[in-house]
């Protein structure tokens, strides 16, 4: 199991700076980040090396933050790598609700971080189909 922080913040200058400053001051490393916004508000999703510590820190500093389980799937960093993951889930009627990815080693390995409605079922299907899934500890050691 992997966990990500989802932080809801007003879309204005300085919000990300404040979040990253707090994390940096506590020696928390950001391994991946994605930001989306609409109507003046945004959602910042972060994979951090110490997700529980980061969650507690942000919550204690009045950020609306959630700690969510996600699936981190290792895939080949090549044409069709993402398609193989999407095809496996689609063939089993599993909808990817949210996703982002990052490259571990160019031309070799990448990680797709996904959220689906039924995490245990998706986890099982991906493992049965030969995909490597990463835990918090494995992600943060990359």
For residues 82 and 115, membership in a common domain is answered with yes
Structure tokens at 99: 């996703």
Beta carbons within 10 angstroms of residue 85's beta carbon: 22
Most confidently modeled of 11-25, 29-43, 46-60? 46-60
Give pLDDT tens digits for 90-105: 999 999 999 999 998 8
Domain end among 68, 97, 115: 68
Split at pLDDT 50, 70, 90, the class of 9 is confident
| CA dist., res. 89 & res. 23, Å (int) | 34
Structure tokens at 112: 């797709």
Name the 3-class secondary structure at 68. strand
| CA dist., res. 20 & res. 17, Å (int) | 5
Domain end among 68, 97, 118: 68
């Amino acid at each position: 199991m992997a966990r990500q922080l989802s932080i809801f913040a007003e879309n204005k200058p300085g919000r990300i700076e404040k979040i990253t400053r707090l994390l940096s001051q506590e020696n928390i490393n950001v391994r991946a980040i994605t930001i989306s916004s609409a109507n003046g508000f945004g959602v910042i999703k972060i994979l951090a090396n110490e997700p529980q510590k980061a969650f507690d820190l942000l919550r204690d500093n009045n950020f609306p933050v959630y700690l969510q389980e996600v699936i981190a799937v290792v895939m080949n960093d090549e044409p069709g790598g993402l398609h193989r993951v999407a095809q496996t889930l689609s063939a089993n009627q599993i909808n990817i609700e949210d996703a982002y990815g990052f490259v571990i080693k160019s031309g070799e390995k990448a990680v797709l971080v996904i959220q689906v409605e039924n995490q245990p079922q998706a986890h099982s299907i991906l493992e049965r189909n030969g995909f490597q899934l990463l835990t918090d500890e494995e992600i943060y050691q990359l």
